A and B are shown apart, each in its own frame.
Chain A
Amino acid sequence: AQSVTQLGSHVSVSEGALVLLRCNYSSSVPPYLFWYVQYPNQGLQLLLKYTSAATLVKGINGFEAEFKKSETSFHLTKPSAHMSDAAEYFCAVSETNAGKSTFGDGTTLTVKP
């Protein structure tokens, strides 16, 4: 069975600092992995996805994530935080199709001026 663990329900960084949001997964087969962002009272928007083509995946808004099979991790990073990055971020794993995914509990990112 697939599962996702997001380490840290809240992360706070200063504007311009590195953003690191952690995600570990469990899957019985090579997984497909996704990061989504959610702004208050809105739906989720895809940031990036891993589909085995490359271990370092670049997404929108300057985010990227690296797939590490040995660590079963798919951490999300951004070199320099912007105030507009404040939102909730969800990591998701799928063994079948993308919509039928298992989501982590989410990490709320706060960006301090």
Chain B
Amino acid sequence: DGGITQSPKYLFRKEGQNVTLSCEQNLNHDAMYWYRQDPGQGLRLIYYSQIVNDFQKGDIAEGYSVSREKKESFPLTVTSAQKNPTAFYLCASSIRPEVGTEAFFGQGTRLTVV
């Protein structure tokens, strides 16, 4: 079945460590996105990519980095510069980076700093 796979589902990080969240899609979608979700808040855009080897910062990119070396993969690295990384992270994709196309979401990764 086609879809978006995020791994791991749960991730624990010690302060000062970098961690990488995986996002893979087999939908052949051009665009991919990373959102952060905190309790009682909506989703906030971290980074997005409309095409391979290109990506743009979203609203809260500080402390995060991404790469888009392959169409199907868009990993997110949470660096030690991110002051409050504990959150639920959602990866999404859309068939085209054009208005009117809906986003498909993965199941999320819950990151906890210990």
Contact = CB atoms under 8 A, between A and B. Distances in A.
Contact of B99 (A41, A46, A97): A97
A100 B102 contact: no
Given A97-B96, A100-B45, A46 B102 contact: yes
Contacts of B42: 4, 90, 102-106
Interface of B: 4, 6, 31-33, 35, 40-45, 48, 50, 58, 88, 90, 92-94, 96-108, 110
B94 A97 contact: yes
Contacts of B90: 43-44
A97 B33 CA distance: 11
Interface of A: 4, 9, 32, 34, 36, 41-46, 49, 51, 90, 94-106
Nearest to B110: A41
Contacts of B33: 99-100
A39 B67 CA distance: 29
Contact of B92 (A32, A42, A99): A99
Contact of A101 (B88, B93, B96, B103): B103
B94 A99 contact: yes
B107 A105 contact: no
Contacts of B103: 34, 44, 46, 98-99, 101
Contacts of A104: 42
B86 to A, nearest CB: 15
A42 B45 CA distance: 17
Given A99-B93, A99-B94, A42 B108 contact: yes
Given A90-B43, A97-B96, A97-B97, A45 B105 contact: yes
